[in-house]
Structure 1
Amino acid sequence: MRIRFRGIDVRETVLFRGPSGWGEFGPFPEYADPEACRWLAAGLESAWGTWPAPVRDRVEINATVPAVGPGHVAGVLEGFDGCRTVKVKVAEAGQTLHDDLARVAEVRALLGPGGQIKVDANGAWTVEQAREALTRLSAYSLQYAEQPCAEVAELAELRRLLARDGVDVPIAADESVRRAEDPVRVAREGAADLVVVKVAPLGGVASALRIVAECGLPAVVSSAIDTSVGIAAGVALAAALPELDHACGLGTVGLLDADVAERPLVPAAGVITVEDALAVVRADEQPGLAGRELTGERRDWWLDRLARCHALLT
Structure 2
Amino acid sequence: MESYRETRLQMLVFVFGVFFMSVCASDTFPKAQNVTWNSINFKTMLTWSPKPKDYSYTVEFYVIGQSRERSPHCIRSTETDCDLTTKLKDLKASYKADILSEPLLGVTSDLIEHPSTTSERFSPYSDTVIGRPEFKLEVDSDKRKTTLHVTDMPTALNNEKKERLSIRDVFKDELQYKVIYRKAKSTGKREKISKSSTIELTDLDRDVSYCFNVQVYLSFRSTDKQLGEMSHIQCSPEGNTSIFEDYGPAVIAGVILIIILALSAIISTIMMCHRRRKRVKNPGKEGQPLNYL
Whether these two folds match at TM > 0.5 is: no
Q: Taking structure 2 as the reference length, what is the TM-score of the superposition?
A: 0.20
Q: Which has the higher contact order (CA 8 A, sep 6+)?
A: 1
User: Between Structure 1 and Structure 2, which shows a larger proportion of strand residues?
Assistant: 2
Q: Taking structure 1 as the reference length, what is the TM-score of the superposition?
A: 0.19
Mark the structure with the bigger radius of gyration: 2
